[in-house]
Structure 1
Amino acid sequence: MKLPNMALIVLSALLVFSCSKDNDAPNNPNPQDENIYYPPLNSDIWETKSIETLNWNETQLQPLLDFLEEKNTKSFMILHNGKIVVEHYMNGHDSNAVWYWASAGKTLTTALSGIAQDEGYLNIENKVSDYLGTGWTSADLDKENLITCKHLLSMSSGLDDTLGDDVSPTNLQYIADAGTRWAYHNVYVKMQDVVAQATNQSWENYFISKLKNPIGMNGSWIGLGDLSVYWSNTRSMARFGLLTLANGNWQGQQIISENYLNDALNTSQNLNQSYGYMWWLNGKSSFRLPQTQIQFPGELIPNAPDDMFAALGKNDQKIYVVPSLKLVIVRMGETADDENFALSNFDNDLWEKINDLIN
């Protein structure tokens, strides 16, 4: 039976298109399909990938770097599937210099809490007093016993956030039942005490053996008044971002369980949709910010991809992770504009420049 002329034309076109796709495939590999690259431990070796390979708009790289330098940036990196695409240092900084993570380092506490749970030392659903004993706050015992480790990780302890960073019992005072109020509060550091008590190790030793050394980070925790802040070089920050992009896996070793990490990277309570376990989440319908009880409509960073999650630190320390684009982006430096505790206008402005490059 003969096909009508139009049917023959359509069939021929389909065959040509199919053959064309098959023939092109081996010569035009999709960079999104390659395996994640992990830089070697204890080495300066780190493979790179060109902007040209990714078909990004190379003419927009210099405007991005000019913007970053103008905004008091010290270092900036973009990884694609683990390989370095962009790495620049400016304003007197270099690849060996260390800088503080500020609150972006809260996510290190998240990670180590998950590792301790994975190893059976603790359960984040348990109350904090199971590990620290009673009287770790000034709240009445029935109120203190409402506070679980998960409340510390999700910033919903119900303790007064207006009293400063001191986490001695006299300064940890009840203001609302745990789980009924979201407030950005330094009380999260009690989770470090929980890990230390549960594992019978110092916080720093457990951190070094279970997270820092296995992924090849450098740096250390430095006490600043009532705060313990992590300092490292830029590549170490990028290594941690890469571990998170890789669902907690480092070259075949599962450092953090996928189940725990999945919980950490999704809304952790019903008060702030854009907050997981100390990771900030984009693409949600509303968000809250430090030092306010206002709920803002819309997503956290409109110019960023919806699936992006971020570790955000004071004065614009940033780790952005975008699973759909296989990107890890790190920014360290002084405050870009005005002093801030996490999110700032700089985030959205920076993503406008990044989009000009990667689109």
Structure 2
Amino acid sequence: MKKLKWVLGIVLIALVVVAYFNYPKLNLISGYASKNLASNVFIAHRNPVDVNLYDHDMSLINLAQSKVSQKDKSATASVYGLMQRKAVYKHGLGAVLTNDEYTQHNFFETPHRTIVTDTLPFPYGNNGVNDTILENVDYAKLEVALTNAFKNPEERTRTLLVVHKNQIIGERYIRGFSKDTPILGWSMTKSVLATLYGILEYQGKINVNTTAPVQEWQNDDRKNITINHLLRMQSGLAWDEDYFKISDVTRMLFLASDMTKAQKENKLVAQPTEIWNYSSGTTNLLSGILRGQFKSHQAYLDFPYAELIDKIGMHSMLLETDLEGNYVGSSYGWATTRDWAKFGLLYLNKGDWNGRRIFSESWVDYITTPTQGSNGTYGAHFWLNAEGKYADIPRDLFSVNGFQGQRVFIIPSKDLIVVRTGLEEQTDEQFNTLLSEILQSIN
């Protein structure tokens, strides 16, 4: 009995120490857990037990205890009963963390969707896939590449899709996932948000080289920041993109009602173009600027779906909003693996979608031009291989990247799209190996 009391005492002391040093983070931990659980259950229709067991199996997040309420479509989480947070779901808008200002979505508009049922196969429709065998593909080698991608459980790959010549040539999913499961793209959503600017520019409604229309900046040096600077992450504004502490990005995602303000309120630490600094706050600022281009909130909500998402048949895609109704362009876009591939194919085909032009060819040149200060790794809300980060892969590769190794790789010279989703970030070497093995199967 004394030994048991001693052990329990040690455990209690350990819990107190952990709570003491991490108490300021509890709001973020329970916020992440409740928001992620609500979105996965109500958007992706996943089993909450699996989400808690696998998705929340990461440092600190695994301290949270989370549960779902089907009654009010919500999820709550806390850390040993401390700092409970709640996320609520609304159809068409996704899940959002509540706070002291709001206990639910504070507006009624939801996006109007146009979902067309057709008889075309992927990619221009959703009626299955072509079963044509491409003569230049060694399917046995491709099968080995797919198998290798899932061989190491520590890499936590969930889905993998290979598209060549507009045709799916390889596809694989782990248990609990299928072609119909929406996947959170995290920062892949940034590239979707940027594409909306490409569409507006093609329509003659905006010029990315004009100064950003932010009223608060007009009386200081920030007035010289252009939309181009924001798209290239070279505005010179202060920003701390650290997900493992209380930082600009974690305060924005898990505490803010209006995520478009986080970057807007920061000061300059350098003049535009002097430094490159990756910033999720910048993308959400761009989302707020985008909202200002429309006469109504409804028009803003409808635009991404009417002019991009539903127009190319990405009907599984959902962009989540914050409590003020702004699209969280930095992080919260969901789509099936096949629909993420469609987004890549739109860029592979330089803005043309089965004869319908979505944005100009010059937009692809723009987003793939290396940004000063990024060492050739970043364009305009897209990642690049211009300096050979992936040593064995063509330099024309560009990609859509997200947290935990979400990727859409676009390789124009090989007419190739590779989509990988998972729960673990991969090194450049690991991605280089994956892509190399796939390319070796294509003559």
Query: TM-score with structure 1 length normalisation?
Result: 0.75
Residue 267 (structure 2) pairs with residue 267 (structure 1)? no
Q: 1:84 aligns with which of 163, 168, 172?
A: 168
SS across alignment from 2:338:
helix
The match for 1:110 is: 194
Choose from 233, 238, 246 the match for 2:341.
238
Q: What is the distance in 2 between the residues matched to 1:336 and 1:92?
A: 20
Q: Is 1:222–2:320 an aligned residue pair?
A: yes
For residues 146-195 of structure 1, give each alpha carbon's deviation from its aligned partner in whole angstroms, at most 9, with x where no partner exists: 21100111010111122422352575222111111101001122112222
Larger radius of gyration: 1
Aligned residue pair count: 296
Note closer, same or farther for the CA distance 1:116–1:344 as it changes in structure 2 (3 Å cut): same
Q: Does 1:65 align with 2:158?
A: no
Distance 1:69 1:336 in 2: 16
Task: Please name the residue that 2:215 is paired with.
Answer: 133
Which among 44, 48, 52 is matched to residue 127 of structure 2? Answer: 44
Structure of higher RCO (CA pairs closer than 8 Å, 6+ residues apart): 1
Runs of 5+ consecutive residues of structure 2 not aligned to the other structure: 1-120, 241-246, 253-259
Q: Residues 290-342 of structure 1, C-alpha deviation per residue, up to 9 Å, x if partnerless? A: xxxxxxxxx221122121111111111011111111111111111155xxxxx
* Within-5 A mapping of 1:295-334: 299-334=388-423
Q: SS where residue 333 of structure 2 aligns?
A: strand
Contact 1:39–1:45 under 8 Å retained in 2: no
* Change beyond 3 A, Cα 1:143–1:333: same
C-alpha separation in 2, matches of 1:147 and 1:39:
38
Say if 1:256 and 1:48 are closer, same or farther in 2 by CA, change over 3 A.
farther
Distance 1:321 1:49, change over 3 A: farther
Residue aligning to 1:211: 308
CA shift for structure 1 position 75: 1.1
Go from structure 1 to structure 2 and tell me whether the alpha carbon gap of 1:204 and 1:335 turns closer, same or farther (over 3 Å shift). Answer: farther
Tell whether the 8 Å contact from 1:319 to 1:329 is kept in structure 2 after alignment: yes
Judged with a 3 Å threshold, the aligned counterparts in structure 2 of structure 1 residues 48 and 308 are, in CA distance, closer, same or farther, namely: farther
**Equivalent residue number for residue 18 of structure 1:** none
Q: Is the 8 A contact 1:221 1:228 kept in 2?
A: no
- Tell me the alpha carbon deviations over residues 196-236 of structure 1, each in whole angstroms, 9 at most, x when there is no partner: 21133544311001000110002211258975410111111
Q: Deviation per CA, 1:4-50: give whole Å up to 9, x if none.
A: xxxxxxxxxxxxxxxxxxxxxxxxxxxxxxxxx96333x23332443
Q: Report percent identity of matched pairs.
A: 24
SS of the residue corresponding to residue 379 of structure 2 reads coil
Contact 1:49 1:84 in 2 (8 A): no
- Equivalent residue for 1:156, pick from 234, 237, 248: 234
1:182 is aligned to 2:315: no
Tell me how far apart the structure 1 counterparts of residues 132 and 239 of structure 2 sit (CA, whole Å): 44
- 1 CA distance for matches of 2:430 and 2:184? 18
State the Cα distance separating 1:125 from its structure 2 match.
0.7
Aligned residue for 1:78, secondary structure, equals strand
Aligned-partner Cα distance in 2 for 1:311–1:96? 20
Partner residue, 1:96: 180
| Aligned partners of 1:308 and 1:323 also within 8 Å | yes
TM-score (norm 2): 0.62
RMSD: 2.4
Offset of 1:113 from its aligned partner?
0.6
In structure 1, the residue corresponding to 2:410 is in which secondary structure? strand
Distance in 1 (CA, whole Å) between partners of 2:271 and 2:143 is 49
Q: Which runs of 5+ in 1 are unaligned?
A: 1-36, 285-298, 338-342
The superposition leaves residues 112-168 of structure 1 with CA deviations (integer Å, 9 ceiling, x where unpaired) of 111111222221111112xx3224xxxx83321121100111010111122422352
Measure how far apart 1:92 and its partner are. 2.4
